[in-house]
């Protein structure tokens, strides 16, 4: 099973991704987490990515695409995966199509969490306090939202046209959102 979860920064993708991936026994692959792990470990990839992340900018497509390609080539991702935070640009959509087609599979579903922009800023500022992420200042959060609206939101239409989109209300309690996601998935997959 090959899934994508999308939504603006702070929509709660990471939390939901882990639950859904766990349920289906596939890895949740978060590009943000992989970048952060590389930054912590001080790898060349991390050094390169950090400049962009700290400013709330997207890491260039070539770097991100290669990283995802390597990750989904790993053993645990052979039966499938849930991508969290990728693709974020039209170019990444094309790359991903190529990667999946190469293995003879296809994308099953794209989940989208719909959340209100102002509520998001508040959530992210709270997360900044509890987790201390360097890119959770108000200015950087606004920039990430702007980029999302400009570059990533258009992907929703692309996947809708392909008939892959499942849009779910991402507001409210985490468990309620999880339940909505599983209900939506049950309409297309046996779970
Ligand atoms: P959020 O969705 O809350 O902004 P993530 O943890 O998904 O946070 O991503 C953090 C940062 O990592 C992004 O702001 C960006 O700099 C970088 N990043 C993650 N995924 C991608 C991607 N697919 N393309 C480009 N940059 C990315």
CATH code: domain of residue 127:
3.40.50.300
Q: Decide if 97 is inside a domain.
A: yes
**Which stretch of 9-23, 52-66, 113-127 has the lowest confidence by average pLDDT?**
113-127
The set of long-range contacts for 166-170, using a CB threshold of 8 Å and a minimum separation of 24, is: 166/109, 166/110, 166/111, 166/112, 167/112, 167/114, 168/111, 168/112, 168/113, 168/114, 169/114, 170/7, 170/11, 170/12, 170/113, 170/114, 170/115
Instruction: Check if 18 is active-site.
Output: no
24 in ligand 1 pocket by Cβ < 6 Å? no
Query: What tens digit of pLDDT does each residue of 152-174 get?
Result: 999 999 999 999 999 999 998 99
Measured in angstroms, how far is the CA atom of residue 71 from the centroid of ligand 1? 16
147 in ligand 1 pocket by Cβ < 6 Å? no
53 in ligand 1 pocket by Cβ < 6 Å? yes
85 in ligand 1 pocket by Cβ < 6 Å? yes
More confident residue, 188 or 44: 44
More confident residue, 126 or 165: 165
User: What is the pTM for the complete model shown?
Assistant: 0.92
Q: Decide if 184 is inside a domain.
A: no
* CA nearest ligand 1 atom 1, residue: 9
Query: What tens digit of pLDDT does each residue of 110-124 get?
Result: 999 998 888 888 888
Q: Domain of residue 76: give its range.
A: 2-173
**Average pLDDT score over the chain:** 93
Average the pLDDT over 12-17 and give the result: 93
Catalytic member of 2, 50, 71, 88 = 88
Q: How many domains does the chain have?
A: 1
Best residue among 10, 31, 134 to mutate for probing ligand 1's pocket (most ligand atoms within 8 Å of CB) is 31
More confident residue, 6 or 135: 6
Q: Decide if 123 is inside a domain.
A: yes
**DSSP, res 142:** H
* CA nearest ligand 1 atom 4, residue: 9
For residue 191, pLDDT over 50 is answered with no
Q: Decide if 135 is inside a domain.
A: yes
Rounded distance between C-alpha atoms, residue 177 and residue 167, angstroms: 11
Rounded distance between C-alpha atoms, residue 160 and residue 83, angstroms: 17
């Amino acid at each position: 099973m090959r899934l994508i979860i999308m939504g603006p920064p702070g929509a709660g993708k990471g939390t939901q991704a882990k639950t859904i991936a766990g349920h289906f026994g596939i890895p949740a692959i978060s590009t943000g987490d992989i970048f952060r792990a590389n930054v912590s470990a001080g790898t060349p990839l991390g050094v390169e990515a950090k400049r962009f992340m700290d400013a709330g900018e997207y890491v260039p497509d070539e770097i991100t695409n290669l990283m995802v390609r390597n990750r989904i080539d790993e053993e645990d991702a052979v039966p499938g995966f849930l991508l969290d935070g990728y693709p974020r640009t039209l170019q990444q959509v094309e790359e991903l199509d190529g990667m999946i087609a190469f293995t003879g599979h296809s994308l099953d579903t794209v989940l989208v969490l719909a959340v209100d922009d102002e509520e998001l800023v508040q959530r992210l500022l709270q997360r900044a306090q509890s987790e201390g992420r360097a890119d959770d200042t108000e200015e950087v959060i606004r920039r990430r939202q702007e980029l999302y609206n400009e570059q990533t939101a258009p992907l929703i239409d692309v996947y809708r046209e392909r008939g892959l989109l499942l849009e779910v209300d991402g507001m409210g309690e985490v468990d309620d959102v999880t339940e909505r996601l599983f209900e939506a998935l049950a309409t297309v997959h046996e779970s």
